[in-house]
Structures are given as structure tokens and as C-alpha cells.
Copies of this chain bind each other. A is one copy, B any other.
Amino acid sequence: MKRYEALADDIAHGIASGSLRPGERLPSVRETSASRGVSPSTVFQAYDLLEARGFVEARPRSGYFVRDRAGSQAEPALSHPIAREQEVEVSDLVFQVLGHARDRTLVPLGSAFPAASLFPLPKLALALGKAARQLDPWKTVEDLAPGSAALRRQVGLRYLAMGCHVDAQEIVVTNGAMEALNLCLEAVTRPGDLVAVESPTFYAALQALERRGLKAVEVATHPRTGVDVPSLAAVLGQHPVKACWLMPNFQNPLGSLMPDTAKHALIDLLAEHDVPLIEDDVYGELYFGTQKPRPAKAWDRKGLVLHCSSFSKTLAPGYRVGWTAAGRYAQSVARRKLMASLATSVPVQEGLAEYLQHGGYDRHLRQLRQALATQRQLVARAIARHFPEGTRVTQPEGGYFLWVELPDGVDALELHRLSLSQDVSLAPGHLFSADHRFANHVRINFGHPGDPRVEGAIKTVGTIARALARQPQDAASRRGTL
């Protein structure tokens, strides 16, 4: 860790612990330089980093101030879904809207992926080539599900480092987190069962439910603190929920992060009802704070949590390597993996194991987090500047999505259609709920720091949204032409 990073972390701790309070002014650069015995430029870099991470804000000619987290731009409120059992049918809409993801002429505000340029692809290529050349042919049989021993060991070490007890034996390597999530869902449900999800929900979770013929019940979710555990308790009391599918860390699309106390309460609740949790944790490494948030699985003592993650968002997009630590369901998941696709590509598994051991994954992650945190500020500021009055935006502490609530009456599908005509993609809120609520919300991807078109694209979308906000009464009729 560099000197300015250490200094920034130290100050962030002070803010988190309350010794520096919202609105308070940080010591001047000169004061801090003297008191800490570091150069002024180190202090400048540290303050910049703190600003990028959202801890402080610079006020012209006044210095840096600890940010009020409920700051100037309002956040969306806790969602209030109707707790009813719903058939799921979202796929057609999802495919229709997201088919644009591959068009590289579009500014990818609607994309599900961060920019591939953020990742150490050349270094990965070397690790992959080396592993492939040195591949013991026997591994093509040995690395079938549950997967490469070397890779599972590396993944196990990372659980250990975050204080989460996971037996390497319960890890099953998969073709990305998507396969892990599907196999876990298969292991804990039968067609027709009911699954509790957040509101809004990641659309791929809804698609997975639809694919398996499951019903969904949506649970109130706060844009900053995640699923509301008392609401979930009420749902579990009233409905025959067979499993939960949740994202406690940097939920897609909210970016919400459940506090540790809430995670603990969640696990206690599920243990009481003996309901398994499919924990989708693909964004957990992309935190902007000082410490990696632990998964809910860290509190699990009954083997009820099937923790799923991958390297697709943090290291190796397109390599398609994920895993699940599936607790008491590990053998069932491993068998389903054998039946579904036999194995994950063996040279790729070995190549990632090689990179994790020697490639500097944590150094890369630090750079990635900083790039995303900085870009979040840039995109959030652009939205504040260009979007219509009354817009609410989340302030996520990790990941690369903003969830934007537009004034009532602005139809997100209409906004999506008009933005596309200006070469900008968006993910309309309709995708994120079984009953297509969130019609005036959009998810905006801020994971493309290198793309110079982003700020202009935000302005374009904002201009269209302002126009729509002025004539909401026409939305329904225009929608008919989509």
C-alpha cells in the first residue's frame, strides 16, 4: 500500500468511528503534512482519494469537509413491494433491452459489465499460456467438478483472509457465477417453489427463477442498507418460502450494503426457519471503503448459505470462472455441475490459480476500486447537474451501478428508447421486478472510467429525461409505439 493510501485509510477510519464528524473541516494540507510528517503532495493525493471514495467533499476556497452521507442529492427510499407470490416472466423484455450490450458504438450506461480495459488481461494471458503449456494431461480428468484443487485452495485462502470459515471441500468451481447461482437454485428448490428476492432484484435472478418455473416474493429493500430483515421475517411467517436469493454486498441494481448487524440478524432468521440463502456476492471485492465487507455466510453456522462469486467482475471478464461455497449442499451442487457441464475449462482454472498465486491480485484490486470510486463521483455529479429536478440517486459504497429514480411519470422504457436513438444504452427499471414496477427508474453503469463519451451521454439522457418530465401525461400513449 502506498503512503497516501495508508493516510487516506487512517482518516477514513476516523470518519467511520465518529472522531471526525459530518460537516467538519479536515486539517489543511499544510497542517496535516506537518503533523504526519509526510509531503504536501502525499496529503493532496490522500484527500483526493477520500473525495473519490465519497468520504469528504472539496469546497472551493474552503478546504475539505467530511461529507454528510445523506448529502445534497436525495437517495431513493425503502422499496414497498406487495408481498405476494408471483409467476415470473421477464426474459423477453430482458433480451429485448439487453441485446444492445454488444454494440460497441453505444455508450454502455445500460451495460451489466465494467470496461474490460480495467483488467490485467495481458498478465492473465501469460498465466493462462503458462498453465496450459505445463498442464498435466491427467488434470483434464482430475479437474472435473468440483474443480481444480489448486484453484479451490486459492479461493479458500481468500475466504480465510476475510475471516470467513469455508472448507475447501465445499467449493465447487463453475462457469462463472451465473452457473453457480443456477446450480444452487436447482439444489434447493423444485419447480413451483417460492423464492424470496430483493425489491428491486437483479434481472438475471428473475430469469433464473423463470427458467426453473419458480415463483418470486419480493421483499422491501433499502437503497443503502439492503434487504429489510423485519420485512423478510414477515414474509417468511406468511409464505412457504423455500429459499432466499439475496445480494448483501453492493446489490445489483441498488448498490446497497447490509451492515454486519443486519447480516447477522438475517442469518439468525434463516436458521430459525431452516431456509437456505443463495448469496450472490460478485461485487464484494469492489468496496470503496477501507475494509472488505464480509459475506452473510461469515455468520452461518448451519451450512445454510450457498455463497456464489466469480472473477468476472474483479479480474478476468470473459474467462467464465466462478464458484460456490455451498455449505451443506456442496455435494448436491457438485453433482449437478457434473450433469450440467461436467467441468469448467481446465487450463483456465489452472491459469487463474497461477495468477492468484503470483500475479498480484490484491494490487490490481486496489487500483480497480480506486478507478471505480473516482468514476462514481464523476457520474453522480454529472447526473446531479443534468437530470431533472426531483431525481434521486443512490450513493453506493461499492460496485459500479447507480440506481436513479426519476420524477413520477417519466417512463424508463421511453427514456431507454430515446437514449438508444442517441447511441446511449440504459437499463430501464422495468427489468428489475417481476411485476415491472420501478417504471420511473434506470440503472446506470459507472464502470467505464476510460470512456470519454460518458459525461456527454449522461447529459444527453438528462436532457431527454427533462423533456419527458415536462410532459408525463403523454407517456402512456408514446409507450404504445415502442
Contacts and interface: CB of A to CB of B under 8 A. Distances in A.
A347 B137 contact: no
Contacts of A204: 339
A92 B453 CA distance: 55
A156 B91 CA distance: 29
B346 A318 contact: yes
A184 to B, nearest CB: 13
Contacts of A346: 318-320
A320 B343 contact: yes
Interface stretch (A121-129, A292-300, A381-389, A405-413): A121-129
Contacts of A208: 339
A132 B141 contact: no
Contact of A318 (B101, B104, B340, B345): B345
A23 interface: no
A2 interface: no
Contact of A345 (B113, B186, B345): B345
Interface stretch (A73-81, A172-180, A232-240, A474-482): A172-180
A224 interface: no
B128 A347 contact: yes
Given A176-B342, A318-B346, A126 B116 contact: no
A144 B99 CA distance: 11
A161 to B, nearest CB: 26
Interface residues of A, number: 61
Interface string A341-354: 11111111000000
B132 A342 contact: no
Contact of A343 (B116, B138, B176, B211): B176
Contact of A137 (B117, B175, B321): B117
A142 interface: yes
Interface in A118-171: 119, 121-122, 124-126, 128-130, 132-133, 135, 137-144
B344 A320 contact: yes
A376 interface: no
A124 B344 CA distance: 17
A132 B138 contact: no
B318 A140 contact: yes
7 contacts: A95-B335, A113-B140, A121-B132, A128-B129, A175-B344, A182-B340, A207-B339
Interface of A: 91, 95, 101-102, 104, 111, 113, 115-117, 119, 121-122, 124-126, 128-130, 132-133, 135, 137-144, 174-176, 178-179, 182, 186, 191, 204, 207-208, 211, 213, 317-321, 335-336, 338-348
